[in-house]
Amino acid sequence: MDSKRLDAQSGHEFTLTALVPALAGANMIYGVGMIDAALAWDYASAYLQNEFLDMVLRVVDGITVNEETMSMDVIRDVGPGGEYISHDHTFARFRNQSNPTLMNRNTREAWEAAGSPDIVEKAYEKSMEVLASYTPEPREEAVQKDLDRIYADYEAAIAERTAAEKN
């Protein structure tokens, strides 16, 4: 992403960078949290982009079409010209589509009443909360031993190469 900070440009760039490969079947999305042509990494950007990725993966998953999702019984119940928004079936399922924590889906009035929170400010606030409260689980002993061995092998190879270059 070329944007120098978390802003509309970075959101647009990340979404395109994530959506196209995801739709093509990629099994890894590159660049979460990166800004300024990958010269910098931003905690809040990573937090917000994680939310974007949830939505991208939702798109990639497609729309499930089956008896439950087609709701033919509800269609028959409501009938021509009826409304589905207040139907129990709709209400029980509408949050399954997407449930963002940063994006505001309230009315303008509700958003203003809440102080007109900015998504970037919220992303920085939430990312700092995660950093302050996160406690990683220790690695399994066997995994740590493997990592220590890999690191020791690498250090030995560097030392050998350095010694060979001096001779």
Assigned domain for 162 exists: yes
95-115: pLDDT as tens digits = 777 778 899 888 999 999 999
39-87: pLDDT as tens digits = 999 999 999 999 999 999 989 998 888 888 888 889 899 988 889 888 8
138-164: pLDDT as tens digits = 999 999 999 999 999 999 999 999 999
Does the pTM surpass 0.75? The reply is no
Q: Residue written as tokens 């996160």?
A: 134
- The CB density around residue 131, as the number of other CB atoms within 10 Å, is 10
C-beta separation of 29 from 22 below 8 A: yes
pLDDT for the residue 24: 95
Domain holding 149, by residue range, is 140-167
Residues in the chain, overall count: 167
What phi, psi does 124 have (nearest 5°)?
-65, -40
User: What is the domain count for the chain?
Assistant: 1
C-beta separation of 30 from 13 below 8 A: no
Assigned domain for 152 exists: yes
| SS percent in the chain: helix, strand, coil, step 5 | 60, 0, 35
Q: Residue written as tokens 């303008």?
A: 108
Assigned domain for 111 exists: no
Burial environment of residue 21 by CB neighbours within 10 A (0 to 12, 13 to 18, 19 or more): middle
Alpha-carbon distance of 157 to 151, in angstroms, equals: 10
Assigned domain for 123 exists: no
Assigned domain for 149 exists: yes
Alpha-carbon distance of 13 to 9, in angstroms, equals: 6
